[in-house]
Amino acid sequence: MTTPTTALCRYTETEIFYRDRNLVGDLMEGGGDFVSLMMSHILGRDVAAHEVRVMNAILITMMEHGLTPSAIATRSVYMSAPENLQGAVAAGLMAVGSQFVGTIENNARLLARLVAVPEADRPALAREIVAEHRAAGRRMPGFGHHLHRPDDPRALKLLEIGAREGLQGGHIAALHTLAQAVDAAAGRHITINATGATAALLGDMDIPVPLMRGFAVISRAAGLVAHIAEEASRPSGRFIWDLVDRAIPFDADGPSGGR
């Protein structure tokens, strides 16, 4: 088996390097910005100032949405094991899966298909993609929101920021093309949601699809620490336990065992 290598970090007794930069003499001394550094560290390339501004908007958008399943998991675990803050965050992060954040990736794959064909062919391909999903009874990833109607305000603002910051790459335009096909097929306006807009912006920054949810994980980690800080100040864990336990009645019959 060949020996793998790493480019992330090396150190001696007196110096530490992140990739090719001296942590203390360069990054810390220079007043480095965490968001900028983490982007270049993850992506292995320099990042431009406008990309950092776009990423800040994305991270802020994904950080918080109230008492979501993710926050409920974190608060329930924190109540049971407050000595173990990292476990409570980890529990909530596990909810960054297919049903919400995973749609970023699914949408990004559709945008990549569109961007890969000549611009003139994209409207037809967009209609084809929408038709495929409708035929299969599958939801279009990146579209629709159970609450925010007629438009998800975060999505519109993210796309506006992406355009203002001059993102090139065609994913934002492809998302608008896809949106026209979605609306036409539905016969009414369906909102682009925050995950769809995020996919377009990340795609235009050339971030590999499998890494996209990584940025959601980082942002959500911060949001979940805020939930823990609030839980420490205004405990809700036992209230949630009682609430849920009382609201879901026992019924011996009904489906069971994964069926």
- Starting at the edge strand found earlier in the chain, the sheet holding 21-22 runs 9-11, 16-18, 21-22
- Residue 107 Cβ vs a copy of itself, minimum distance, rounded to whole Å: 17
Which residue carries 């009414």 as its tokens? Answer: 188
Nearer to a copy of itself, 42 or 185 (CB): 42
- Residue 42 Cβ vs a copy of itself, minimum distance, rounded to whole Å: 5
- Give kind and range of the element (H or E) at residue 33: none
CA–CA gap between residue 35 and residue 21 (Å, rounded): 16
Question: How wide is the angle at C-alpha 185 spanned by C-alphas 194 and 129, nearest 5°?
Answer: 70
Question: How wide is the angle at C-alpha 229 spanned by C-alphas 153 and 154, nearest 5°?
Answer: 5
3-state SS class at 41? helix
- Residue 229 Cβ vs a copy of itself, minimum distance, rounded to whole Å: 4
Nearer to a copy of itself, 35 or 115 (CB): 35
- Residue 128 Cβ vs a copy of itself, minimum distance, rounded to whole Å: 23
- Residue 178 Cβ vs a copy of itself, minimum distance, rounded to whole Å: 22
Nearer to a copy of itself, 66 or 137 (CB): 66
How many beta carbons lie within 10 A of that of residue 254, not counting itself?
A: 5
Greatest pairwise CA separation for the chain in angstroms = 67
- Residue 152 Cβ vs a copy of itself, minimum distance, rounded to whole Å: 9
Nearer to a copy of itself, 130 or 192 (CB): 192
Nearer to a copy of itself, 121 or 230 (CB): 230
Structural contact between residues 65 and 146, judged by C-beta atoms closer than 8 angstroms: no
CA–CA gap between residue 174 and residue 171 (Å, rounded): 5
Nearer to a copy of itself, 122 or 231 (CB): 231
